[in-house]
Amino acid sequence: MPDIIRLLPDALANQIAAGEVVQRPASVVKELLENSIDAGSNKIQLIIKDAGKALIQVVDNGKGMSDTDARLSFERHATSKISSTEDLFAIRTFGFRGEALASIAAVAQVEMKTRRADDEVGTLIRIEGSEIKAQEPVNTPVGTSFSVKNLFFNVPARRNFLKSNPVEMRHILDEFHRAALAYPSIGFTLFQNDMEIFNMPSEKLSRRIISLFGQNYKEQLITCQEETDQLKIHGYIGKPENAKRTRGDQYFFVNNRFIKNNYLHHAVVHAFDNLLPDDSFPFYVLFIEIDPKHIDVNVHPTKTEIKFDDEKTIYAIIRAAVKKALATHNIAPSLDFEQ
């Protein structure tokens, strides 16, 4: 009997991996925004057409890539962000798996233009379904422009599975909000079908919240701050009377990475106690800074779930911090909001 096991061709392996990383247009938006942030950009533009089904483009002014790196960036497990196992336990960047670009290029038509400040000309790469169609020099500004057309053009089952434009756009906006909140010092622009939806300069967190959610948030924010041996917390909570009946505007960032964590969410809600009307959710944007060795972000490919080595203590600290913020607000409500 002949042996029957073989290594999958790269294109097929990439397409399989893409199933995990790229679920919908918003997943592409997340990966590209994170790459632009990791590249040290201070201006990032997101351009969306047809809820990302026709076009997702991210233009940044970050550090760009050499022509060799531009080519390598599409290989699976190709990354500039870690090089050893120790690095894996001290992650400071969003990326480190080196899977996103390979996955995206496996299931879409991609065009990337990139240039470093020291290079006179940049590099253009066109790649479709993992197949390189062109690589050539190009005149382009410093930074990287990454455009993703016709997502899932070669995976009809996935393409058909996409939801309506309003639903897909909602997911994209969620990712945009998360990135824009995590990095208020970065200027963000969003175009949707050629209309400018957001154009936000570099600003403070309180201003960024208002830019994203509207002027009426100005009177709603209470400063929240706490520092212990294990961690630092800073950010804002919304006043209890402004709590909404729908979930959504609750944001935890751990070392600037947005995370979903019901247990910690409960810590905040618990701190509000009977101040909250029944069945309503407080607004919060809370940043937790913690030594990366106490967390594991390598739990899930999208990294929105992370593991803490001591979740109970973190729960207690968050709850105390929110309680303290609410108490201070009751004594001196006008001092809460720093301009």
Per DSSP, the chain holds a count of helices (H) and strands (E) of 10, 15
> For ligand ADP, what does the binding mask look like between residues 77 and 96, x meaning CB under 6 A?
-xxxx-------------xx
Q: Are strands 109-115 and 143-149 parallel, antiparallel or unpaired?
A: antiparallel
Contacting range for ligand ADP; rule: CB under 6 A; set: 97-105, 240-248, 257-265, 268-276? 97-105
Alpha helices in 66-221 (DSSP H): 67-72, 85-88, 100-106, 156-161, 165-182, 205-213
Closer residue to Mg ion (CB): 48 or 100: 100
Residue 60: its H or E element:
strand 55-60
As a residue count, the chain comes to 339
- Among the listed ranges 94-102, 184-192, 246-254, 278-286, the one in contact with Mg ion (CB under 5 A) is 94-102
Q: Exactly one of 14, 27, 73, 255 binds ligand ADP (CB under 6 A); which one?
A: 73
Residues 138-177 that bind ligand ADP (CB under 6 A): 144
Q: Which does 45 bind (CB under 5 to 8 A by kind): Mg ion, ligand ADP, none?
A: none
- Min dist CB 31 to Mg ion, Å, is 5
Listed residue (272, 211, 207) closest to 238, CA to CA: 272
Do the beta carbons of residue 336 and residue 221 sit within 8 Å?
yes
- What are all long-range contacts of 158-162, with beta carbons under 8 Å and residues at least 24 apart? 158/19, 158/107, 159/53, 162/24, 162/25, 162/53
- Binders of Mg ion among residues 100 to 129 (CB under 5 A) are 100
Span interacting with ligand ADP, options 32-40, 46-54, 126-134, 205-213, rule CB under 6 A: 32-40
Residue 326 interacting with ligand ADP (CB under 6 A): no
338: phi then psi, degrees, rounded to nearest 5:
-90, 135
Closest distance to ligand ADP from the beta carbon of 38 (Å)? 6
Question: What number of chain residues touch Mg ion (CB under 5 A)?
Answer: 3
Give the residue, chosen from 95, 184, 235, 282, that forms a contact with Mg ion under the rule CB under 5 A: 95
Q: Which is nearer to ligand ADP, 63 or 218 (CB)?
A: 63
Q: In the structure encoding, which two tokens stand for residue 281, read together?
A: 């959710």
CA distance 55 to 21: 18
Q: Which residues bind Mg ion (CB under 5 A)?
A: 35, 95, 100
